[in-house]
Amino acid sequence: MNRKSLFLILLILVIAFAAFYIWNREGGGILIDGKEEVKLYFSTRDAMYLEAELRKIDAGKSNKYIETITELIKGPESKELNATIPAGVRIRNIRIEGKTAYLDFNQALVDNHWGGSTGEIMTIYSIVNTITQFPEIDYAKILVEGQEIETLAGHLDISVALEADQNLIKD
């Protein structure tokens, strides 16, 4: 081994160490596979509570709020839980203003809903509790076709932004 190659090896080592050091300092937050684990709240079978199901979303893809609600719409994987969003529902847009998320759904959320106070609570709070899991969001306001609505199924006042309801969560 000549001196030149030893010099090169050492140089590479120095650069590698330095690079590792810098990367290690500045890094963090990026998960190994680029995915983030989120909680999705679904209804228990007796519709007494909401229970969280963990699911990985692709954080890099579009936006994490849309990704999360899209997963919520798909329904639970567990047979013990029930879907909270009626068939045909699409999330049109999610806009964040301050600490409030404005979630805009299509008309199917109202038209295809099964009704009932309990049914309505489960649907609304599965959305609200799911979106407010992100620490930067405290309130959720639900819109349909871009418009504010008085109520989804004739009971809950959703003309105002809602906070998460911890009483509904079963751990």
Residues with Cβ < 8 Å from 14, sequence gap 6 or more? none
162 binds another protein per the rule CB under 8 A: yes
Number of residues that bind another protein (CB under 8 A): 39
Of residues 6 and 63, the one with the C-beta less far from another protein = 6
Q: Select from 62, 63, 78, 151 the one that contacts another protein (CB under 8 A).
A: 151
∠ CA 25-22-136, rounded to 5°: 35
Helix (H/G/I), strand (E/B), else coil: 79: coil
155 binds another protein per the rule CB under 8 A: yes
Q: Select from 38, 40, 41, 43 the one that contacts another protein (CB under 8 A).
A: 43
CA neighbor of 90 nearest in space, from 111, 69, 68? 69
Largest Cα–Cα distance of the chain, in whole Å? Answer: 84
Q: Which stretch binds another protein (CB under 8 A): 45-53, 60-68, 89-97, 138-146?
A: 45-53
Q: Select from 36, 66, 83, 108 the one that contacts another protein (CB under 8 A).
A: 83
Cα of 129 vs its chain's centroid, Å: 9
18 binds another protein per the rule CB under 8 A: yes
Of residues 62 and 148, the one with the C-beta less far from another protein = 148
Residues with Cβ < 8 Å from 38, sequence gap 6 or more? 54, 55, 56, 57, 64, 68, 71, 130, 133
Interaction site with another protein (CB under 8 A): 3, 6-7, 10-11, 13-14, 17-18, 21, 25, 28, 43, 45-48, 82-84, 86, 114-119, 121-122, 150-151, 153-157, 160, 162, 167
